[in-house]
């Protein structure tokens, strides 16, 4: 099969915050940079981020210190976040946030004219000793939208070459090296080889492996799928965050900022139940803690509504003015999807799949790592491949991400990867040269769908996959249920391999895209299932009935899922920050 | 319920046609996007854009029973009387005035071109401070109602002036963004921005019809923004 080739210094796959921050960095410095995105960039899921970007910019508290933010993040991660990476994110954060402001991001303001910061869950002053901090920089409750548009605008200004509505199918590899990607133009169906010295994955999360999720319909784990298919492992992929406040029934998110601004959760008796579970932080405990408490209330029969299957988020006491000025988007969403005006009545909420803490393991430069299990020393950089944002596991979130840390993660590491690649390009990065066979390999799965003549439909298979994951790998997990889930996912692999793409047309064929996305959902689901079943403890978001306690002796480590063997290995967590003392694991209470 | 959808595949259809579907919504007041997803399970060949499904990404602008809006936040009960109850069909067409790529998918190139023409990025060449540029809450408030635009194109494609002159008239969405930067105390390119708009078409082709205001799914008011730019141009003229 002959295939057109386009050549760049660097290509970025994914047009969300991480991807556009990386492309901006390289385009600003004059490198020939392409950004491939399956949607027009401002339709990427970063646009849905609401509450803000957590960073010690010392606006709300002039004495704020990035080390306090670091402490919170390490604790929030339940101690399997890498401390060198967290140190980098928290210390470089202010610079990266100020850059966003200089780009034009319309942050809300304080009376002093500085960026407005609000309290978020898991935040403290003075290493947990100084009470609640207010560290999340906000543009009302549309911070992701404001951030994504500002980045798109700067990319326009700096001449990034956009390939909008192009879908990346697979990595092109030459031995162990990455030479670019094969991508398909959605509008015309044309398949093209994007050749580059550096390929940056910024493909976001994969919440659509679950039937109920706050994630956009496009969050299908395309980067994870592409990585696993070429033998690149994933790390901590069992760690899925369930956000406490998804609107019941709809799955749409309402920000933690609702609780940051003073809202709180109540059960059917009107009790503010978080006081029992987290006496100090209450509703602003870590997300994993709050989500579990909510599920306990529901399972104990204290849920709200006719089926007792959700709880209420109460905000009416905050007053119309605060709600309309600080949380205008939430008011809209709640009325549209929850049929409740928060000014007058509580919002029905339930923990909902929200964020993938795991992903492609990388170092702080975004370089993807190949590991064979075992220990840190065996990590090896993959030439030509980088990953940033939710698809990556650098790892700053460990077993539980703090609210507001995802936006910081994506700008800090998008930027870091851009900086590193610029430097490497200046010093002469090598371009791997694929053979026809290498290209063939990367188009194989597309040809499989194109040649399909019968079998189950994509929608049918996707529904089956999503309900399997929802039932067996939710907030609370159990060994036998998960073993059953692993089996079902293995069966689904067979079924999907025989799935049918009926529509073979070229022009804007969304059926083809959905089929290709299904392959990726499957890869993420399988890795999640095997890793979750294998981690025999409870830590952060991974909570097991059969192993209810944290087991630091055996599991104070990353899990590594190897797609070649489909086995779970372990990798050491980094406990060696460069400028501060190690934060030692402690019992995690809020 | 009956759903009637505009269909066109350039590879197989000589011309577009309306295709009827019978969809069981179990009487629920679903969003139009949910209905489309149900249709697509039955007929995977149907093409439409969608992403966030909560009204913030701007992918699924379309024409529903004659009015532009976002399918994901438009409940059947609000489309038109009788649609939810099944007495009237739900009629879905692509956004008017832009070339159709396939089914409900339009070619947005013209729309994005106009957006790019207003230089939609902050311009300020003074050396940046070590922290953020300061801006008072009052100054910041001036860009409320402007920065929230999601580029869904519902407004521009409901605007007769844009239908007539999509290359020369910038359209409500682009002009709203133009004003977003004119109104930002941190932007220093006011004069240059205004000069670019000072011709018979770019801005002045707006006839105050206000379709843009009536369809904006985010409740924004491009006509008012255009009015503010007119005032700035007038003030500059005298």
Instruction: For A240-272, write each residue's pLDDT tens digit.
Output: 999 999 999 999 999 999 999 999 999 999 999
Catalytic residue chosen out of the listed positions A21, A287, A415, A477: A287
Q: Report which of A37, A24, A471 is spatially closest to residue A222, judged by C-alpha positions.
A: A37
pLDDT on residue A375: 54
% of chain B surpassing 90 pLDDT: 99
Reported as a pLDDT band with limits 50, 70 and 90, residue A189 is very high
pLDDT on residue A314: 97
> A119 — alpha (psi -120 to 50), left (phi > 0) or beta?
beta
3-state secondary structure of B231: helix
Give the largest CA-CA distance in chain B: 63
Q: A53 φ, ψ to 5°? A: -125, 115
- What does the block give as tokens for B193? 């921005």
Smallest Cβ–Cβ distance between A101 and the set B10, B102, B133 belongs to B133
End-to-end C-alpha distance for chain A, whole angstroms: 59
Question: A285-310: buried (b, 16+ CB within 10 Å) or exposed (e) per residue?
Answer: bbbbbbbbbbbbbbeeebbbeeebeb
**Which strand (E) or helix (H) includes residue A197?**
strand A191-201
pLDDT on residue A427: 96
Closest B-chain CA to A217: B51
Question: B205-223: buried (b, 16+ CB within 10 Å) or exposed (e) per residue?
Answer: bbeeebbbbebbbbebbbb
A42 Cβ under 8 Å from any chain B Cβ: yes
Asked if A43 lies within 8 A of B52 by C-beta distance, the reply is yes
Instruction: For A343-383, write each residue's pLDDT tens digit.
Output: 999 999 999 999 999 999 999 999 999 986 455 557 899 99
Calculate mean pLDDT across residues A478-486: 98
pLDDT on residue A454: 95
Reported as a pLDDT band with limits 50, 70 and 90, residue A2 is confident
User: Which chain B residues touch A332 with a CB distance below 8 Å?
Assistant: 55
Residue ranges of the alpha helices (H) in chain B?
Answer: 32-42, 76-79, 109-117, 137-141, 160-164, 171-182, 190-197, 211-215, 222-237
Instruction: For A84-93, write each residue's pLDDT tens digit.
Output: 999 999 999 9
Task: With a cut of 60, say whether residue A312 has pLDDT above it.
Answer: yes
**Which strand (E) or helix (H) includes residue A351?**
strand A347-356
B109 Cβ under 8 Å from any chain A Cβ: no
Q: What integer best gives the mean pLDDT of chain B? A: 97
Identify whether the C-beta of residue A137 lies closer than 8 Å to the C-beta of residue A107: yes
pLDDT on residue B237: 84
Helix A405-426 / helix A143-157 crossing angle, nearest 10 deg? 20
Task: With a cut of 70, say whether residue A218 has pLDDT above it.
Answer: yes
Task: With a cut of 70, say whether residue A178 has pLDDT above it.
Answer: yes
Asked if B58 lies within 8 A of A111 by C-beta distance, the reply is no
Task: With a cut of 80, say whether residue B236 has pLDDT above it.
Answer: yes
Smallest Cβ–Cβ distance between B44 and the set A44, A115, A457 belongs to A457
Reported as a pLDDT band with limits 50, 70 and 90, residue A94 is very high
pLDDT on residue A371: 80
pLDDT on residue A1: 58
Is A287 known to be catalytic? Answer: yes
Q: Report which of A279, A209, A278, A280 is spatially closest to residue A244, judged by C-alpha positions.
A: A278
% of chain A surpassing 70 pLDDT: 99
Give B49 to chain A, closest Cα distance, Å: 8
Q: Report which of A130, A138, A173, A126 is spatially closest to residue A57, judged by C-alpha positions.
A: A138
Q: What integer best gives the mean pLDDT of chain A? A: 96
Calculate mean pLDDT across residues B66-79: 97
Q: How far apart are CA A317 and CA A329, in angstroms?
A: 18
By the 10 Å C-beta count (0-12 exposed, 13-18 middle, 19+ buried), B109 is classed as exposed
Beta strands in A388-533 (DSSP E): 392-393, 476-477
Calculate mean pLDDT across residues B91-113: 98
Beta bridge partners of A220: none
Identify whether the C-beta of residue A234 lies closer than 8 Å to the C-beta of residue A361: yes
Calculate mean pLDDT across residues A125-153: 97
Beta bridge partners of A243: A352
Instruction: For A419-450, write each residue's pLDDT tens digit.
Output: 999 999 999 999 999 999 999 999 999 999 99
By the 10 Å C-beta count (0-12 exposed, 13-18 middle, 19+ buried), B158 is classed as buried
Calculate mean pLDDT across residues B152-157: 98
Helix A66-76 / helix A83-103 crossing angle, nearest 10 deg? 120
Identify whether the C-beta of residue A399 lies closer than 8 Å to the C-beta of residue A357: yes
Instruction: For B171-198, write each residue's pLDDT tens digit.
Output: 999 999 999 999 999 999 999 999 999 9
User: Which chain A residues touch B135 with a CB distance below 8 Å?
Assistant: 109, 113
Give the largest CA-CA distance in chain A: 67
pLDDT on residue A315: 97
% of chain A surpassing 90 pLDDT: 98
Instruction: For B43-64, write each residue's pLDDT tens digit.
Output: 999 999 999 999 999 999 999 9
Q: A413 φ, ψ to 5°? A: -85, -25
Calculate mean pLDDT across residues A566-587: 96
pLDDT on residue A378: 73
Q: Report which of B72, B70, B89 is spatially closest to residue B23, judged by C-alpha positions.
A: B89
Task: With a cut of 70, say whether residue A199 has pLDDT above it.
Answer: yes
**Which strand (E) or helix (H) includes residue B93?**
strand B90-93
Instruction: For A13-63, write each residue's pLDDT tens digit.
Output: 999 999 999 999 999 999 999 999 999 999 999 999 999 999 999 999 999
Identify whether the C-beta of residue A532 lies closer than 8 Å to the C-beta of residue A568: no
Smallest Cβ–Cβ distance between B51 and the set A39, A187, A329 belongs to A39
Smallest Cβ–Cβ distance between B121 and the set A104, A187, A511 belongs to A104
How many Å separate Cα A33 from the centre of its chain?
Answer: 24
Chain B, 58 to 97: residues with Cβ < 8 Å from chain A are 58-59, 73, 75
B11 Cβ under 8 Å from any chain A Cβ: yes
């Amino acid at each position: 099969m002959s295939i057109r080739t386009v050549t760049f210094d660097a290509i970025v796959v994914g047009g969300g915050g991480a991807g556009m921050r990386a492309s901006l960095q390289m385009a600003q410095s004059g490198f020939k940079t392409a950004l491939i995105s399956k949607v027009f960039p401002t339709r990427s899921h970063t646009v849905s981020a609401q509450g803000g970007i957590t960073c010690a910019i010392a606006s709300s508290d002039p004495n704020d210190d990035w080390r306090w933010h670091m402490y919170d993040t390490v604790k929030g991660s339940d101690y399997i976040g890498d401390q060198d990476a967290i140190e980098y994110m928290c210390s470089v954060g202010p610079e990266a946030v100020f850059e966003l402001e200089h780009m034009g991001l319309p942050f809300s303001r304080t009376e002093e004219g500085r960026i407005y910061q609000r309290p978020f869950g898991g935040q403290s002053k003075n290493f947990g000793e100084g009470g609640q901090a207010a560290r999340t920089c906000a543009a009302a409750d549309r911070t992701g939208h404001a951030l994504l548009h500002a980045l798109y605008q700067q990319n326009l200004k700096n001449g990034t070459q956009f390939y909008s509505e192009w879908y990346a199918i697979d990595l092109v590899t030459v031995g162990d090296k990455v030479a670019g990607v094969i991508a398909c133009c959605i509008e015309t169906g044309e398949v093209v080889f994007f050749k580059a010295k550096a390929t940056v994955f910024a493909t976001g999360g994969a919440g659509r492996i679950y039937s109920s999720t706050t994630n956009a319909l496009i969050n299908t784990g395309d980067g994870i799928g592409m990585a696993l298919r070429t033998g690149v492992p994933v790390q901590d992929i069992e760690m899925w965050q369930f956000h406490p406040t998804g609107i019941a029934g709809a799955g749409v998110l309402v920000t933690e900022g609702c609780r940051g601004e003073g809202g709180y959760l109540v059960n059917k008796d009107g009790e503010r139940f978080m006081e029992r579970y987290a006496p100090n932080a209450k509703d602003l405990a870590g997300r994993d803690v709050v989500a579990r408490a909510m599920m306990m209330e529901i399972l104990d029969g204290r849920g709200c509504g006719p089926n007792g299957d959700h709880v209420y988020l109460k905000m009416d006491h905050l007053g119309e003015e605060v709600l309309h000025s600080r949380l205008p988007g939430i008011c809209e969403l709640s009325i549209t999807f929850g049929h409740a005006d928060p000014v007058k009545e509580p919002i029905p909420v339930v923990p909902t799949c929200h964020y993938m803490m795991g992903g492609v393991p990388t170092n702080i430069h975004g370089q993807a790592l190949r590991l064979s299990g075992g220990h840190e020393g065996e990590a090896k950089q993959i030439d030509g491949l980088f990953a940033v944002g939710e698809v990556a596991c650098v790892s700053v979130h460990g077993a539980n991400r703090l609210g507001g840390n995802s936006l910081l993660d994506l700008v800090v590491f998008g930027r870091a990867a851009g900086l590193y690649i610029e430097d490497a390009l200046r010093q002469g990065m090598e371009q791997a040269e694929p053979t026809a066979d290498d290209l063939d390999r990367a188009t194989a799965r597309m040809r499989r769908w194109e040649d399909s003549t019968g079998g189950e439909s994509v929608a049918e298979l996707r529904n089956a996959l999503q309900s399997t994951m929802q039932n067996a790998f939710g907030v609370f997990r159990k060994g036998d249920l998960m073993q059953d889930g692993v089996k079902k996912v293995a069966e689904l692999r067979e079924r999907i391999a025989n799935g049918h793409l009926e529509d073979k047309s070229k022009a804007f064929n969304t059926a083809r895209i959905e089929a290709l996305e299904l392959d990726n959902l499957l890869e993420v689901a399988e890795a999640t299932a095997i890793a979750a079943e294998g981690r025999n403890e409870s830590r952060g978001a991974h909570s097991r009935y059969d192993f209810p306690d944290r087991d630091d002796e055996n599991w104070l480590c990353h899990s590594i899922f190897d797609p070649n063997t489909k086995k779970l290995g372990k990798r050491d967590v980094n406990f060696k920050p460069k400028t501060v003392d190690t934060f030692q694991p402690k019992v995690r209470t809020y | 319920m009956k759903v009637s959808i505009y269909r066109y595949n350039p590879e197989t259809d000589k011309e577009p046609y309306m295709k009827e579907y019978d969809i069981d919504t179990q009487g629920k007041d679903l969003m139009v996007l949910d209905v489309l997803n149900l249709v697509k399970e039955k007929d995977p060949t149907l093409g439409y854009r969608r992403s966030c499904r909560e009204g913030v990404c701007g992918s699924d602008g379309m024409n529903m029973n004659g009015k532009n809006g976002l399918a994901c936040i438009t409940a059947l009960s609000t489309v038109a009387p009788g649609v939810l109850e099944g007495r009237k069909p739900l009629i879905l067409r692509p956004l008017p005035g832009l070339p159709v790529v396939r089914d409900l998918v339009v070619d947005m190139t013209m729309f994005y071109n106009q957006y790019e023409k207003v230089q939609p990025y902050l311009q300020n060449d003074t050396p940046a401070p070590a922290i953020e540029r300061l801006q008072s809450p009052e100054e910041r408030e001036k860009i409320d109602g402007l920065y929230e635009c999601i580029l869904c194109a519902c407004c521009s494609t409901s605007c007769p002036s844009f239908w007539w002159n999509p290359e020369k008239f910038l359209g409500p969405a682009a002009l709203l963004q133009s004003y977003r930067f004119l109104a930002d105390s941190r932007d220093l390119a006011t004069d240059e921005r205004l000069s670019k708009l000072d011709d018979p078409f770019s801005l002045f082709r707006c006839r105050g019809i206000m379709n843009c205001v009536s369809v904006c799914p985010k409740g924004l008011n491009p006509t008012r923004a255009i009015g503010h730019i007119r005032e700035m141009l007038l003030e500059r003229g005298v």
